[in-house]
């Protein structure tokens, strides 16, 4: 299904393992996302196991686990699955006797490649057959240039992920995809990519967790939620990272979440599903429909178009998402909204805008 689903039980009961993204879900840079440590603790207390699945390939699982523990989320290295691990496994699966790997990335990627027993070369002139590139904030022009030289000599370019941006405590910063794009622009060759949204990283994490009913949790549609769809796992979107309510309403079929939430506290709550009544979709006291590319919500007996009122409650977002996705599917398009549809925010029941 590509529409929202309901759970009468809390998610931590309906699913046995949460496959949680990190950046924008658990932390932003060095700071925890509000409510995240307590929400993870409550879900674990009720029996939900956790695996932390990240496209950041710069750090080792042990380093990631230590960071999470410092932030109030006690974690062991065995609970971390990184894109570095996924891409190293991919290269190892395809390797032959001639394979030589040039690593452009941080300690996490280097360790993952070494753990797979792959031979590593230090420069572009050492016969590299594969250039593997992962995020590292310490990368320099020289590193990117050396990668370009190796690719120019015939090496294949494989990226751990193609995330264009990275949420930090200061805002969005260039992600691995932005740095990969620089190398691709220099060489004229587009790389393959592992990590999200490819399904393998989620499937590996689910196997490591022993999950029979895994739930993917993330903030990005084009990585976390698209990857959940690709792996055929349900996905929970949280409004604490990159993509906001406007992106939810415009979501393509292959990127739609199964559940919507303000933050991770909704792991411990049931989720209602909107119901259709003619042109209207209703969720609790909220109702929404699409009229000529505009979302209309019903408030206090009045119809309000979102080009004038740019805030939604969570139930209004659920209703509006059902309305826009249904309209898009009926029209055979990914987005049923006007091209200039305004950016909207999610509000709490008290009416104040939720910080993201």
pLDDT digit string, tens, across residues 173-209: 999 999 999 999 999 999 998 889 999 899 999 999 9
Residue 132 lies in a domain: yes
With 90 as the cut, is the pLDDT of residue 287 above it? yes
- Radius of gyration of the chain measured on its C-alpha atoms: 21
Q: Mean pLDDT for the chain? A: 93
**Residue 7 per-residue DSSP state:** B
pLDDT at 66: 96
Asked whether residue 89 falls in the same domain as residue 187, the answer is yes
Structural domains counted in the chain: 3
Contacts of 112 (CB under 8 A, 6+ apart): 57, 82, 84, 85, 87, 88
What pLDDT is attached to residue 1?
Answer: 53
352 domain-assigned: no
Predicted local confidence at residue 307, as pLDDT: 78
Same domain, 108 and 155: yes
- Look at residue 167 and tell me if it is in a domain: yes
User: Which of 141, 172, 193 delimits the end of a domain?
Assistant: 193
Residue 356, pLDDT > 80, answer: no
In a domain? residue 67: no
Residue 208 domain-assigned (yes or no): yes
Domain encompassing residue 98: 84-193
Domain shared by 264 and 288, yes or no: no
Give the catalytic positions in this structure: 21, 23
The pLDDT of residue 2: 65
**Which one has a higher pLDDT value, 217 or 23?**
217
351 found inside a domain: no
Kindly state whether residues 170 and 201 are assigned to the same domain. no
Query: pTM for this structure?
Result: 0.86
End position of a domain, from candidates 268, 289, 304: 268
Predicted local distance difference test score (pLDDT) of residue 352: 44
The whole-number average pLDDT for the span 121-146 is: 94
What pLDDT score was predicted for residue 13? 97
Q: How many CB atoms lie within 10 A of CB 272?
A: 18
User: Which of the listed residues 210, 233, 268 is the one where a domain comes to its end?
Assistant: 268
Beta-carbon contacts of residue 89 (< 8 Å; ≥ 6 apart) = 116, 200, 204
Instruction: State the CATH number of the domain containing residue 49.
Output: 3.40.50.1000
């Amino acid at each position: 299904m590509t529409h929202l689903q309901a759970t009468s039980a809390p998610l931590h009961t309906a699913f046995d393992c949460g496959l949680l993204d990190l950046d924008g879900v658990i932390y932003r840079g060095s700071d925890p996302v509000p409510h995240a440590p307590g929400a993870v603790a409550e879900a674990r207390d009720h029996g939900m196991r956790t695996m932390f699945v990240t496209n950041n390939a710069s750090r080792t699982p042990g380093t990631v686990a230590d960071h999470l523990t410092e932030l109030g989320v006690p974690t062991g290295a065995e609970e971390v699955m990184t894109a570095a691990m996924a891409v190293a496994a991919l290269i190892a699966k395809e390797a032959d006797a001639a394979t030589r790997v040039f690593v452009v990335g941080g300690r996490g990627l280097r360790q993952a490649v070494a753990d797979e027993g792959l031979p590593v070369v230090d420069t572009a002139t050492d016969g590299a057959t594969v250039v593997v590139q992962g995020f590292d904030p310490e990368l320099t022009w020289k590193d990117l240039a050396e990668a370009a030289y190796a690719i120019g000599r015939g090496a294949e370019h494989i990226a751990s992920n193609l995330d264009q941006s990275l949420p930090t405590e200061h805002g969005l910063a260039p992600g691995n995809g932005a740095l990969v794009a620089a190398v691709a622009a220099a060489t004229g060759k587009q790389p393959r990519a592992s990590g999200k949204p490819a399904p393998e990283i989620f499937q590996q994490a689910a196997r490591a967790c022993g999950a029979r009913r895994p739930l993917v949790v993330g903030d990005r549609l084009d990585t976390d939620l698209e990857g959940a769809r690709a792996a055929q796992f349900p996905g929970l979107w949280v409004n604490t990272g990159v993509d906001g309510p406007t992106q939810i309403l415009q979501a393509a079929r292959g990127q739609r979440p199964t559940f919507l939430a303000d933050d991770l506290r909704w792991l411990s709550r049931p989720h209602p599903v909107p119901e259709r009544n003619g042109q209207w979709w209703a969720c609790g006291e909220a109702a929404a429909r699409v009229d000529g590319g505009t979302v209309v919500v019903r408030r206090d007996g009045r119809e309000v178009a979102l080009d004038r009122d740019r805030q939604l409650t969570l139930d209004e977002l659920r209703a509006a998402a059902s309305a826009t996705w249904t309209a898009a599917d009926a029209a055979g398009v990914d987005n049923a909204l006007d091209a200039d549809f305004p950016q909207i925010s999610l509000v709490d029941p008290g009416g104040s805008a939720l910080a993201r």
